[in-house]
Amino acid sequence: MALAPNLGLALRAVRHKLRMLTAHDTFWPAAARGGRLLLRGRVGAFARKLFNEADNARDPAPRGGDRPGPVLFLGGCVLGLGGYDHLVLNVLKGLTGAGVNVCRDRRGCFRRPHVPPELRPAELRRRGHPRLIVAPPHAVRRYRPDGRSAAFTMWETDTLPPGAARALNRCGVVVVPSRWGERCFRANGVTAPIEVVPLGHDPLVFNPGPPREPGRVAVFGTAGALDAGGLRKNVQLVIDLFRRAFPSDPGVRLRVKVTPNSPPVDARGDARVEVTDTPLSPADLAAWYRSLGAFVNASAGEGFGLHLLEAMACGVPLISSAFGGVGAFFDGRVGYEVGWRPCGAVNAVYRGGWSEPDAAGIVARMREVARDGAEARRLGAAAAARAARFRWEDTHRKLVLALIRHGFIRPA
């Protein structure tokens, strides 16, 4: 790979690299890896890693003063396709579509391949302009929030990370995607105004598609990013419960989707369990959902559960509890609801309480889907109808109205 051709581009590439590492809390591990390369005399490899964001540094973003509309700074990152990156990108789409002049907070980081040119935030000095921070609660403080800052955030347990409530209380308004989240934030001492704005999906991508012929094989699916949250998604538990439900039945399959950086899951040598860790575009992900007869969710907690909403939008019923943010859009009328019991969070990332889904209930529901495909298809249609109430355009509209109410955007 050629190094940056001029000093200006090189400096921009290094700044972008540092912003990206800071955003993911990976600066010191990356510095250690770079130091080892230098000690081994691999100067070329070190330089390639240092300047590998040169493509993102080309073609500087527009200046904020050159664009019309009320100025709103956006604190957040779009470095990939999932998680908060996906939320930040859709917030960016909604604000830009509403005529807001979105400018990049200096701590924000956007990878050019994931952000179309027309959506790229402008460059401008903040100087008291309002700002929207889209980040998990423990990361809000990195942006040094103030009264002109709004925060769009969520959490997966009933207990916020240390210091999160203090940072959120410096904001002029906090936006969460569910009433459950609002109650948990209040119980944790968040006194700032709170607005509830549910997340959504793109119905042009996530939809049931053309009618399918009933299959002879009952296909289940589960998914999760296991590199951030680990045990929370409980993907391995779903594999084990699938094998408990169907010890030797050749007429069932389980498809497991994990992210490329996820630690491996164990299919227990069962050829009926198909595991993929390749990245999928939104269209390919929707096709993957549509290949399922039911999506099995054994997650211990979700701040909202956007992937579950997307599965429902594709006409796939969930086998899931309604704990946490999932209850904002899911219940037994649109899928196979299972019970849960409260338990302590067991992941190093989390503290407080979340849920343990009813394992026996999940097994029984999977057997029910395999036994009665017609009922699964009926519930899938009901799930798609429920999901139609949660579109990104609804999220955009409600978010813009909330920001107007609290003085962050001037009404048109």
Tokens found for residue 339:
């019970």
Tell me the residue type at 367: R
> Distance (Å, rounded) from C-alpha 312 to C-alpha 31?
43
Q: Strands 340-344 and 353-357: what pairing? A: antiparallel
Cα distances (angstroms) measured from residue 12 to each of 8, 16, 22, 368, 376: 6, 6, 15, 57, 53
pLDDT in tens, 225-284: 765 545 788 999 999 999 999 999 999 999 999 888 778 889 999 999 999 999 899 999
What ranges in 150-234 are assigned the alpha helix state H?
164-168, 179-187
Confidence band, pLDDT 50/70/90 cuts, at residue 10: low
Give the containing element (helix H, strand E) for 171: none
Give pLDDT, residue 4.
Answer: 44
96 neighbors 78 (Cβ within 8 angstroms):
no
Higher pLDDT, 114 or 39: 114
The identity of residue 17, as a single letter, is: K
- Where are the extended beta strands (E) located within 334-409? 336-337, 340-344, 353-357
Long-range contacts of 341-347 (CB under 8 A, 24+ apart): 343/300, 345/157, 345/159, 345/300, 345/301, 346/231, 347/229, 347/230, 347/231, 347/232
Say which residues have a Cβ less than 8 Å from residue 42's Cβ, sequence separation at least 6. Answer: none
Q: Is residue 393 scored above 70 in pLDDT?
A: yes
Task: Look at residues 148, 143, 79 and name the one whose alpha carbon lies nearest to residue 111.
Answer: 79
* 218-389 CATH, one of 3.40.50.720, 3.40.50.2000, 1.10.10.10, 2.60.40.10: 3.40.50.2000
Q: Which residues of 82-92 are buried (b: 16+ CB within 10 A; e: fewer)?
A: ebbbbbbbbbb
Instruction: Give every CB contact of residue 190 below 8 A, 6+ residues apart in sequence.
Output: 160, 165, 168, 169, 174
Average of pLDDT values for 157-180? 97
Q: Does residue 220 carry a pLDDT above 50?
A: yes
Instruction: Provide mean pLDDT across the span 394-402.
Output: 97
Among 20-24, 92-96, 324-328, 397-401, the minimum mean pLDDT is found in: 20-24
Residue 23 reports pLDDT greater than 60: no
Per-residue pLDDT band for 8 (boundaries 50, 70, 90) equals: low
64-200+393-405 and 218-389 have identical folds:
yes
Closest by CA to 334, choosing from 357, 353, 307, 316, is 316
Lowest mean pLDDT among 73-87, 149-163, 275-289: 73-87
Containing 1, the helix (H) or strand (E) segment is none
Cβ distance 384 to 314 under 8 Å? yes
Predicted local distance difference test score (pLDDT) of residue 32: 58
| Residue 70 pLDDT | 92
Please identify, in words, the CATH class of the domain defined by 64-200+393-405. alpha beta
Model pLDDT, residue 2: 47
Compute φ and ψ for 52, nearest 5 degrees: -75, 0
**341: pLDDT strictly greater than 90:** yes
Q: Identify the CA nearest to 148 among candidates 133, 135, 130.
A: 130
SS3 395: helix
pLDDT at 28 > cutoff 90:
no
Question: How many CB atoms neighbour CB 399 within 10 A?
Answer: 22
pTM greater than 0.85 (yes/no):
yes
Helix (H) or strand (E) holding 132: strand 131-134
Give me 61's structure tokens.
Answer: 């973003």
Bridging pattern class, strands 252-258 and 294-296: unpaired
- Torsion sign over Cα 323, 324, 330, 331: positive
Q: What pLDDT, on a 0 to 100 scale, did the predictor assign at position 31? A: 60
Q: What is the DSSP string of 302-334?
A: -SS-HHHHHHHHTT--EEE---GGGGGT--TTS
Q: What integer pLDDT is reported at residue 21 of this predicted model?
A: 53
Rounded mean pLDDT of the chain? 88
pLDDT of residue 3: 45
pLDDT in tens, 185-215: 999 999 999 999 999 999 999 999 987 777 7
Tens of pLDDT along 346-367? 777 899 999 999 999 999 999 9
CA distances from 309 to 179, 274, 357 (A): 16, 22, 18
Q: Would you kindly state where each structural domain of the chain is located, as residue ranges?
A: 7-57, 64-200+393-405, 218-389
Pairing of strands 294-296, 218-224: parallel
Res 402: pLDDT: 98
Q: For 34-79, write each residue's pLDDT tens digit.
A: 566 567 777 666 566 555 554 554 455 566 567 789 999 999 999 8
How far apart CA 131 and CA 408 sit, in angstroms, is: 7
